[in-house]
Structure 1
Amino acid sequence: MPFTPSPEVAAALAEGKPIVALESTIISHGLPRPQNLEVAREVEDIVRDHGAVPATIAVIDGVVHIGLTDDQLKAIANRDDIAKASSRDLAIISASKKSAATTVAATAHLAALAGIRVFATGGLGGVHRDANETFDESADLTALSQLDITVVCAGVKSILDVAATLERLETLAIGVVGYKTTAFPGFYLTDSGFTIEHRVESATEIAQIIHSREALKTNKSALVVANPVKHEMDRKRHDAILKSGLAGARKAGIVGKAVTPFLLEHFHTASEGESLSVNIEIIKSNSALAADIAVAKQQH
């Protein structure tokens, strides 16, 4: 077996119980200590409270773990040697016996490998601003174009080129539905300014779509469920912080995958923690909805 399931996940896989995959990058790189560990535990408990089993995914000392024990959660939250792994890095990290938290692309890949079909995250990666010059596009999109998985997210990060990202999602045949909305959310914002075609009202409806995808063989790529945050950031403040963050990144010569963590940290500092509380609300809300979907999928 290319991965080691936690005892809880191993039992759920054996018994066919609903499981929700969770990424670990938010724990190691997305939230400050000690809040990161508290939130990781809370998110797992939310999944359990909604009737599913949480499977937080990470690589620890070369071993791919699908589901973490509390000691392993502590390691991801507190160790200083935790890299950030996309799908292309997994084999290298594993063979080198190193440790890494998994991005959306890596988590989705490993979840699908384990037979887990529902995944909760914060915001998707996508096409970066000025990508026509830099060719900077997240591997999340490529991964989701190749995997049968349903991803619950708060749209794409508002620091990205949302219009270009939606175009790429369409080109890659990645299905997108809005949960109780036709406004595509922009992570910190409930509405990115772009409309999506399909709206769903319940987890049961999403489960029906998942089964239709299987029947019609359109499940070779992912289904994205866009779940807008309830308490968005003040828009004027958001836009001002984004503008100053982009200018700061340019001035510092920050490019490639370093841009996102730089901008998210800038948001956290400049918003005096407001963006952090929104980020935490997002992952909790998405985990609850993902668990409801996993349970409905099982019952359908």
Structure 2
Amino acid sequence: MTHSTLLQPTDEIHQALADGKPVVALESTIITHGMPYPDNVATARQVEADIRERGAIPATIAVLDGRIRIGLDDADLERLAQATDVMKCSRADLALAISTGRPGATTVAATMMAAELAGIRVFATGGIGGVHKGAETSFDVSADLDELGRTPVCVVAAGAKALLDIPKTLEVLETRGVPVVAYGADELPAFWSRQSGIAAPFRLDTAEEIANLIKTRQLFGGHGGVLIANPVPTDDQIPQAEMNQYIDQAIAMATKKKVTGKEVTPFVLGAIYELTKGRSLATNISLVRNNARLAADIAKALA
């Protein structure tokens, strides 16, 4: 099997990449593990529409029928959203999903891998994985951080998921040589909240400045990705002090039920959804759309 048989881009995306047009990669775990049906399908379609409205082409990535699909049509999107046996694919799982023919939804790490293979340089997501609280004993650290350190794709996110240990996540990214840039802000966002209490290492205010950073970084061999931390719109945020209470309760529930490994984040997100009476989902949708629009602007500036 070669890269040409491994990847299956849509005709539109294949032509766009050949012509040097702006393309934005999108992950698929937000569809299968991040939101309930039918909100997941509606959000996926809305995010793709947001990217098109900004003049770029969306490329939702997933594993279906033994191939990495670069772009999904409506039928495949619906199929993925309603499937119950979808693998959550990070770097360790991607080849297994392909070789066994099981459907797979790509995390940040796996989406970055696929995007690089396809020649896509910008990727929009909700939030990245990172260092979990208590990682000094559990060693629970997301593969997203290593991927950012090795794979040259620009990731636009609303920071690390706020249920994580953000200071430790930032330290690991620094060790991996990943520039963490806040967009239009001096403080790192904390996913559902605009503030984290942590100063941003760098700040840039335009898509053109970010594109210039990416182009300059590409002059150095062996460099990995760039993380753009894009705060959720003010009207849709849940303030940090309030959000921390929900996060603490949800993590305590996960600990009590002995939830571990890859199941921690989906469990905690589900618990937070219940505790906030759905507000967290509305904020999640807003921040994903906001990130997609910025990613489209960056992709256009790069093109």
Give the TM-score range, shorter chain: over 0.9
1:192 aligns with 2:196: yes
Indicate yes or no: 2:69 matched with 1:65: yes
Pairing partner for 1:225 from 210, 213, 228: 228
1:176 aligns with 2:180: yes
Following the alignment from structure 1 to structure 2, what is the Cα–Cα distance between the partners of residues 218 and 178? 24
Aligned pair partner of 2:24 in 20, 34, 37? 20
1:54 corresponds in structure 2 to 58
Listed as ranges, the matches of 1:101-112 within 5 Å are: 101-112=105-116
**Alignment partner, residue 281 of structure 2:** 276
Cα distance per residue 1:213-256 (max 9 Å; x no partner): 123x0662110000000121133431221111111111111122
Unaligned runs of 5+ in 1: none
Alignment of 1:125-274 (within 5 A): 125-215=129-219, 217=220, 220-230=223-233, 231-274=236-279
Contact 1:152 1:290 in 2 (8 A): yes
TM-score normalized by structure 2?
0.96
CA distance in 1, matches of 2:255, 2:65: 35
Partner of 1:286: 291
Question: For each residue in 1:11-61, what CA deviation from the matched residue of structure 2 results, as whole angstroms up to 9, or x when unmatched?
Answer: 211211110000000011111111111111111111111111100000012
Is residue 2:84 matched to residue 1:80? Answer: yes
After superposition, the C-alpha distances for 1:98-117 in whole angstroms (9 at most, x for unaligned) are: 10110000000100011101
CA distance in 2, matches of 1:156, 1:186: 6
Q: Contact 2:133/2:164 (CA < 8 Å) preserved in 1?
A: yes
Give the gaps of 5 or more residues in structure 2: none
Contact 2:194–2:239 at 8 Å: present in 1 too? no
- Residue in structure 1 matching 2:97, options 89, 93, 99: 93
- Of the structure 1 ranges 2-11 and 229-238, higher mean CA displacement relative to structure 2 is found in 229-238
Amino acid at match of 1:208: N
TM-score normalised by structure 1 residue count: 0.97
Deviation of residue 197 (structure 1)?
2.4
RMSD: 1.1
Distance 2:218 2:261 in 1: 36
Distance 2:237 2:221 in 1: 33
Q: Which region of structure 1 is more displaced relative to structure 2, 235-244 or 222-231?
A: 235-244
Q: Percent identity?
A: 45
Matched length = 297
Aligned pairs for 1:109-124 within 5 A: 109-124=113-128
Contact map agreement 1:213 1:219 (CA 8 A) in 2: no
For the 8 Å contact 2:150–2:222, the answer to whether it is kept is no
Offset at 1:10? Answer: 1.2
CA distance in 2, matches of 1:19, 1:279: 22
Q: Distance in 1 between matches of 2:240 and 2:125?
A: 22
Shift of 1:192: 1.2
Q: Give, in whole Å, the separation in 2 of the partners of 1:281 and 1:6.
A: 27
The AA in structure 1 aligned to 2:293 is A
Distance 2:40 2:241 in 1: 28
**2:196–2:240 CA contact under 8 A, matched in 1:** no
Contact 1:5/1:67, CA 8 A, preserved across alignment: yes
